Chains A and B, each alone.
Chain A
């Protein structure tokens, strides 16, 4: 069953960066893109466990900081032939980040 989780304020994430949140025992990387939209994905790189929230992003992809493989922020699909990561619906309500999972 899906539940909604309030995970924090949008202002906790600088524009164009990501931060990691523990939600229900899972680590979720939440990114605030430069066009204002929010994306949430599993925080652990499927390649070798790199911290995806430390990666660089644009409007499409996040690049893992360890070996620079990339994942599509919207679908979680790897852009470089690795396994996919899970993506989660996330939205902002009154500056609060609300994650569905």
Chain B
């Protein structure tokens, strides 16, 4: 694998070599890791080939598959192959990998015939095929070795045989990656989840059976009957040819930081057979690093490229159980901290070892969610959370972080716009090193936004540790070089009431991507005085509906608190029927969506509905979800429905930096999901109401922070308005409350909104009152278009991906 990867890396750098490859397996390069899946029957053989034969020919590579190199003539720079051929080279790369190690167990071999019938190792595709063929016709297997490979073999064999026993010589599984408790947890998980018998402290002394295997004998005299034995007791690097050819070989072939064999000018070594700074690696990630360094060096892309060794932090799926391990397995010094959590029955174990405030080791079994975060903390020595529990659990903070270096190049980073790590790195290499620049060029992070922190980290990584300073990151909108408070001061100072005047005075040039944010801000600041230039609005706000993938629009009438009437339902039904609406759907916001309406029909649909807009299209106050509450529910302790309606009635349509979604729920059972709303209200016993803010359950999930507990619905309405106004004035463009509240801090928000510590509460209330008073239902804007052709179609003649019509 390392050899072929090196060649790929060389090609990717435009390396100009005539390349000849020898491999003693009769195939091109395949993914050895996937043999576990092939054995388990979840992957097809054909699916594991990494480069098919045409790849070799397309890239002008001569492949000699099934041909072994027997000798290297270093002096004359020629390699001699088993088929008698001699091939000269300028540069030679050795990547012979390892072979399975079979300890001296009596009966493993039959003299002169290789392995005893029924005894297998697990290294190559041929091994795997032979094992599957044999296993299918037999009943019981013993796997010797409880490391990664043995566990994978045992899991795979289960697919073919009813009884599989794993025998491990040491006291717990995977002893090099796991401590005793973690190993014990893994054992429980493997036994209970997979039904594999695990024997630890079991030293195999003999394989019994005359013609075919009949069992395995342990040192303590136990005999385990079986007809298949798989030895997975470790690997040994393939160094024989190198050693015989006079290269420096210790445990592996010794290399320097350029992966050059010690003392050689033109011979390089990568992969499991290489010994670098005393280390041998048996997992693929380090090999990829080696391949990159070697390719940089060989092609001259970077002659100084150097391999410094790889951190042994591994993240694996072992026999279907997540395992991650790095650094120390146990504390070593007296003052090392050990943070540990164990739930053995569930197969979960987590630990972290901290020394002087730095993470020096960690283990995860059964739950890998914090793996990426821990690996990064371990790699970079990042400061650790004060609340140490945050090392092992997600406490509702930002999503766990993945180590960028470990991500495969083609891994999709932005799942909305399909942007890979490679694409991002490419843009950085082409000279764009600011996060926002990369986002603009690739559109990564411009969908749901969840991946933005990851995009940032990739840009930093690709740029050698730091993203270029991007002053624009603090701007409210990219086209006007000012953060929000400064921008608002300037707008007030110059009395700028239209978007074009802001550009003219403060921005220099007009910027399409800044218009929408400015329009929202000016509307918030000036209310009725705002000079509304329609071109500053996004199409949704120009036509008061949400544009869809085929250029049609959706219409969501207001349905306060999710409460409707038979008459309204009838009206909606009639309108839908009359206009042949392609889909009528209940939304996640407790109202009804009419989807697929052409732009030119919007005014007629609104007129026929004669209902207010539900604002399902704007960066504005959206909905208040409610539950049935005390009027109907036997548990309800507050009239959540009435309160929700009152809130929606009052704050409907108010624009803000992001959407505002609310909920009111009649008791802590929380059927309206108030804990995960921008503002959520929960009725509690004693006539009180709790107000939570900054919750979310969309692209991010966050439980809201308790802002206040109050005694009356009136107070809820008032604090809601004050909170929303504070957010409107201080939130960055498109910054939802789930980001804003933690940024500002709930204590500070509580001080301002509840305790009026800064004396601005009356002002916030007054400005919110003004906004409420200025509210006009935009769907009344239908008799006369506000601009020429406001509702004229913009649809292409060939309508591309049409919204399907559902009956």
Contact = CB atoms under 8 A, between A and B. Distances in A.
Interface of A: 11-20, 22, 25-27, 29, 34, 43-44, 48-63, 65-70, 79-81
8 tightest Cβ-Cβ pairs between the two chains A and B: A16-B535, A49-B800, A51-B794, A53-B794, A14-B787, A44-B796, A58-B510, A54-B539
Given A15-B535, A58-B510, A69 B443 contact: yes
B794 A43 contact: yes
Interface in B758-798: 787-789, 792-798
Contact of B549 (A15, A18, A66, A68): A66
Contact of B788 (A11, A20, A68, A80): A11
Nearest to B795: A51
A56 B551 contact: no
A76 to B, nearest CB: 16
A54 B547 contact: yes
A58 B536 contact: no
A14 B787 CA distance: 6
B794 A19 contact: yes
A57 B535 contact: yes
A71 to B, nearest CB: 11
B512 interface: yes
Contacts of A54: 539, 547, 551, 794
A70 B512 contact: yes
A68 B443 contact: yes
A34 B512 CA distance: 11
B549 to A, nearest CB: 7
Interface string B528-548: 000001111011001000010
Given A19-B789, A58-B510, A48 B442 contact: no
Given A12-B788, A17-B534, 11 more contacts: A14-B789, A16-B500, A17-B535, A19-B792, A20-B794, A29-B794, A50-B551, A51-B796, A59-B509, A65-B538, A81-B441
A88 to B, nearest CB: 16
Interface in B548-563: 549-551
B796 A14 contact: no
- Most A CB atoms within 10 A — which of B440, B533, B535? B535
Contacts of B799: 49
B288 to A, nearest CB: 27
Nearest to B799: A49
A25 B798 CA distance: 10
B58 to A, nearest CB: 25
Contacts of B14: none
A87 to B, nearest CB: 16
A20 B500 CA distance: 24
B795 A25 contact: no
Interface in B490-516: 500, 509-513, 515-516
Contact of B512 (A11, A27, A61, A80): A61
Given A17-B534, A80-B440, A56 B515 contact: yes
B441 A34 contact: no
Contact of B513 (A13, A51, A63, A65): A63
B533 to A, nearest CB: 7
B704 to A, nearest CB: 29
Interface string B580-603: 000000000000000000000000
B797 A27 contact: yes
Contacts of A59: 509-510
B514 to A, nearest CB: 9
A27 B512 CA distance: 23
- Most B CB atoms within 10 A — which of A43, A44, A55, A61? A44
B443 A34 contact: no
Contacts of A18: 794
Q: Chain B interface residue count: which class?
A: 35 or more
A57 B442 CA distance: 20
A34 B504 CA distance: 12
Contacts of A61: 512
- Most A CB atoms within 10 A — which of B534, B539, B801? B539
Contacts of A57: 512, 535
Interface string B742-770: 00000000000000000000000000000
Contact of B800 (A14, A48, A60): A48
- Most A CB atoms within 10 A — which of B441, B512, B799, B800? B512
A13 B789 contact: yes
Nearest to B479: A58
A79 B440 CA distance: 9
8 contacts: A12-B788, A13-B789, A34-B535, A48-B800, A49-B796, A50-B551, A56-B539, A61-B512
- Most B CB atoms within 10 A — which of A11, A25, A54? A54
A67 B446 CA distance: 9
B789 to A, nearest CB: 5
A60 to B, nearest CB: 8
B796 A43 contact: yes
A20 B795 contact: yes
B417 interface: yes
A16 to B, nearest CB: 3
B52 to A, nearest CB: 29
A90 B41 CA distance: 63
A23 to B, nearest CB: 11
A25 B797 contact: yes
A25 B542 CA distance: 27
Contacts of B795: 20, 27, 51
Nearest to A26: B797
B510 A34 contact: yes
Contacts of A44: 796, 798, 800
Nearest to B792: A19
A34 B796 CA distance: 25
A63 B788 CA distance: 21
A67 B417 contact: yes
Contacts of B793: 20
A36 to B, nearest CB: 13
Contacts of B794: 18-20, 29, 43, 51-54
Given A70-B512, A80-B443, A81-B442, A16 B536 contact: yes
Contacts of A48: 549, 800-801
Contact of A66 (B440, B511, B533, B547): B547
Nearest to A59: B510
Nearest to B516: A56
A53 B798 CA distance: 15
Contacts of A80: 440-443
A60 B796 CA distance: 23
A50 B510 CA distance: 23
A70 B442 CA distance: 11
A16 B789 contact: no
A27 B535 CA distance: 21
Contacts of B789: 12-14, 19
B536 to A, nearest CB: 7
A58 B787 CA distance: 18
B797 A56 contact: no
Contacts of B535: 14-17, 34, 56-57
A17 B797 contact: no
A65 B539 contact: yes
A7 to B, nearest CB: 12
Given A14-B534, A68-B446, A81-B442, A55 B797 contact: no
Nearest to A56: B512
A68 B514 CA distance: 12
B442 A34 contact: no
Contacts of B441: 80-81
A13 B440 CA distance: 29
B510 A17 contact: no
Contacts of A29: 794
A56 B417 contact: no
Nearest to A20: B794
A80 B787 CA distance: 30
Contacts of A11: 788
- Most B CB atoms within 10 A — which of A22, A49, A61, A67? A49
A16 B533 contact: yes
Nearest to B416: A67
Contacts of B446: 68
